[in-house]
Structure 1
Amino acid sequence: MTVQADPVIIIGGGQSGLAAARAALDTGLRTVVLHSGAEPVGSWPDYYDSLALFSPARHSALPGMPFGGDPDRYPHRDEVVDYLRRYADALDVDIRTRTPAVAVHARAGGGYLVRTDAGDELSAAGVVAATGSFGNPYVPTLPGRSEYGGDLRHVADYRRPDAYDGKRVVVVGAGNSAVQVAYELAPSAHVTLATREPIRFLPQRIRGRDLHHWLRVTGGDRLPRAIITRLVRHATVLDAGRYRDAITSGRLPRRDMFTAFTPDGVLWRDGTVEQVDAVIFATGYRPDLDYLAPLAAVDHGVPRQVGGISTTHPGLVYLGLEFQRSFASNTLRGVGRDAAHVMAALAARVDRRPRFFRQVRPTASGARRSMSPLRTDGAGG
């Protein structure tokens, strides 16, 4: 039996990083979590104010700690923040906030050196890249964009509708965020939804049960990536009927995507020019992995991996990638399964088993429950 000399460093303290920390405890790995924010709740505080989960509370928890309360409600953004805060507090691991990782270097003889923005270098037996994608929003390049004088932003920087009262706004995108934000703006602003193709809807409820119930009982949430990417070729919007009704009735107009910006608006595909005060792009995100540049582990923004396991560097794994292993990989309800998979592989790679085995399971109350007497003072963190 060998002793793990260096910790596994988890980069990112959101849902993916916390799920990795929990799985590491279950495999006996010693970890350090590096998080750029003030507290380990990921990017959730930065989402728009009205955001709620698309899945009910009963299907939306990380391993070991249910949401509590009405299991059929759709938790609000702030509930998720509080949930992640309690989850992190229940994990007896070393979480270092306000500590962004800026570079990861391979170490001679194996392992890694992780450099932080303060200039510190931490030795790591392995690295978990769990920074998600919110820090890398994608905005397509369109002719005239640099000359446009209105308010142009990604939905990552949108918070609430009051700033757009009475304005002419174009929301770009065909997914959940685009339709939700456009619908929210429509009562007080002149909104057009711009998409390359018609909106495709999925029913929120089928036979009286939420869609996620059926994904769970049929195994749809666990279908492998190869199958999912063949079945899901276009963005879809979960809808109980109100979004479809708003679009078909004309209360939320949709137009084919504009082709260019003008200094004060947009040029539509049919040749008409419209003055527009603001354009909000809800066009997705890309993996936020700049700190892996020294490893050349990412090819044109896409990490080289299979199922979250790096194909270029032993001891490097990923979490929170879209369709990493299943339809639910980058969600609260699915990242725990992926975390168990990659952390087991990482444990087999970097450590046969540490000298002790410690397991701390989050509970519904948020209290720590240790399965070994390593701590006797009752302190947390």
Structure 2
Amino acid sequence: MDTIVIGGGQSGLAAAHCLSAAGLRPVILEAGERPTGSWAGYYDSLTLFSPARHSALGGQEFPGDPDHYPGRDEVVDHLQRYADRLDVEIRTRTRVSAVEGDGAGGFLVHTADGGTLRTMGVVAASGSFGNPYLPEFPGQETFAGQVLHVAGYRNPKHYTGRRVVIVGGGNSAVQVGHELAEVATVTLATRHPVAFMPQFIGGKDVHHWHTTTGFDDLPPHWLARITARAGGGTLVLDTGDYAAALADGRMDRRPVFTAFDGDRIVWSDGEREHVDTVIFATGYRPDLGYLRPLGALSEDGTPLHDGGISTTHLGLGYVGVEFQRSFASNTLRGVHRDAQHVTAPIAAYAGGALAGYGL
């Protein structure tokens, strides 16, 4: 095989499209049952934070009203249609367990079913949903209540009348908190005050300005400085409903607690409070453990790369890493640009460009 794409979600599909357009014959290896990535695993009420007109994937427009905000299942269907259009081989239920060098400039891709595939190029596009970040607090292992990551949350029906604390101040934390506040007593526990960004500016969705002003293309190190200006917190898109819910007390916000204690948590001011459920909306880390045998990751498991192009191995690239090249990286509207950037060097290497030079 000239190239293998690991992961069949939005990133893997975009990568396969670009590799195919470059003349290669990529094979997608997807661990799940469908080439739709992690979307089917998100909570039931999830809606995109960008309208349909700004959520297309690689030339396939999102169906329906271009100004509506697609739900989880609409995204799954969108990705399935995209996969059906691709003229590439997609192997579902095929989980990659390890990638090693083959000693001749290529790679050996080992799968969980005991198979081994040889290839000259690899695109790691497995995203991060399979590796949720769950911080540890003192007393957490003996907490009498429920602890889960937001990746395991589905809907509010099991939380009626409960005391719920959500750790995190990003879009998912606030969206889930707002939903649960209809049936439970909810507190957002955050390290910084929640920073809201208006969903509409000048009568247009903020994603219109992201794409027309060039904000989507700002490099990660610039974005870090912009975030610092905003107080260090994550910017949460809001039509006004979320800020109003905090203002009128339907949910509240407190600094992150310091420990668990039996069936209680210990707030930063020393107060101990009974809590039924703690939901960590603390993000994800790249799900790339299969690259450890290759030596392509840092000690904390993040890929060693420059804009998605491996700095450790020729022929290895990444698509779907958060802030890989810009603010739009790892989004439906931006992942295709990252895939195009990574494709050129991988296509040259896997296509035998070095052979003509005797290398």
Match of 1:24 among 2, 12, 19: 19
Aligned to 2:286: 287
SS, match of residue 242 in structure 2: helix
Deviates more, 1:46-55 or 1:224-233: 224-233
Q: Within 1, Cα distance between the matches of 2:17 and 2:26?
A: 10
SS, match of residue 34 in structure 2: coil
Does residue 80 (structure 1) correspond to residue 75 (structure 2)? The answer is yes
Does residue 169 (structure 1) correspond to residue 168 (structure 2)? The answer is no
For residue 303 of structure 1, report the CA deviation from its aligned partner.
Answer: 0.7
Aligned to 1:139: 134
Q: Within 2, Cα distance between the matches of 1:231 and 1:301?
A: 26
Aligned to 1:364: none
For residue 142 of structure 1, report the CA deviation from its aligned partner.
Answer: 0.7
Cα contact 2:48–2:72 (8 A) shared by 1: yes
Cα contact 2:185–2:251 (8 A) shared by 1: no
SS, match of residue 102 in structure 1: strand
Q: Within 1, Cα distance between the matches of 2:71 and 2:185?
A: 26
For residue 196 of structure 1, report the CA deviation from its aligned partner.
Answer: 1.2
SS, match of residue 254 in structure 2: strand
For residue 230 of structure 1, report the CA deviation from its aligned partner.
Answer: 2.0
Q: Within 1, Cα distance between the matches of 2:202 and 2:243?
A: 19
CA shift digits 1:193-233 (9 cap, x unpaired):
11111100111000100000001110111122222222134
Letter in 1 for 2:152: D
Q: Within 2, Cα distance between the matches of 1:246 and 1:166?
A: 18
Deviates more, 1:189-198 or 1:34-43: 189-198
Aligned 1:256-267 pairs, distance under 5 A: 256-267=255-266
For residue 23 of structure 1, report the CA deviation from its aligned partner.
Answer: 0.5
Cα contact 2:265–2:275 (8 A) shared by 1: yes
Letter in 2 for 1:212: H
Aligned to 2:221: 226
For residue 170 of structure 1, report the CA deviation from its aligned partner.
Answer: 0.6
Q: Within 2, Cα distance between the matches of 1:184 and 1:62?
A: 28
**TM-score for the superposition, normalised by structure 2:** 0.95
Does residue 302 (structure 1) correspond to residue 302 (structure 2)? The answer is yes
For residue 149 of structure 1, report the CA deviation from its aligned partner.
Answer: 1.4
Aligned to 1:238: 237
Aligned to 1:44: 39
Letter in 2 for 1:325: R
Q: Where in structure 1 do 4 or more consecutive aligned residues deviate above 4 Å?
A: none
Letter in 1 for 2:44: D
SS, match of residue 253 in structure 1: strand
Letter in 2 for 1:320: G
**Percent identical:** 59
CA shift digits 1:311-345 (9 cap, x unpaired):
00111100111110010101111000000110112
Q: RMSD of the alignment, in Å?
A: 1.0
For residue 91 of structure 1, report the CA deviation from its aligned partner.
Answer: 0.4
SS, match of residue 76 in structure 2: helix
SS, match of residue 303 in structure 1: coil
Aligned to 1:197: 192
Structure having greater relative contact order (Cα 8 Å, sep ≥ 6): 1
Aligned to 1:313: 313
For residue 351 of structure 1, report the CA deviation from its aligned partner.
Answer: 0.8
Does residue 157 (structure 1) correspond to residue 157 (structure 2)? The answer is no
Q: Within 2, Cα distance between the matches of 1:340 and 1:28?
A: 13
For residue 352 of structure 1, report the CA deviation from its aligned partner.
Answer: 4.8
Aligned to 2:356: none
CA shift digits 1:340-376 (9 cap, x unpaired):
11011211122158xxxxxxxxxxxxxxxxxxxxxxx
Deviates more, 1:216-225 or 1:283-292: 216-225
Cα contact 2:2–2:350 (8 A) shared by 1: no
Aligned to 2:5: 10
CA shift digits 1:241-294 (9 cap, x unpaired):
110111122211111110000110201111111111110000000000010010
**TM-score for the superposition, normalised by structure 1:** 0.90
Aligned 1:317-328 pairs, distance under 5 A: 317-328=317-328
Q: Within 1, Cα distance between the matches of 2:330 and 2:87?
A: 24
For residue 190 of structure 1, report the CA deviation from its aligned partner.
Answer: 1.2
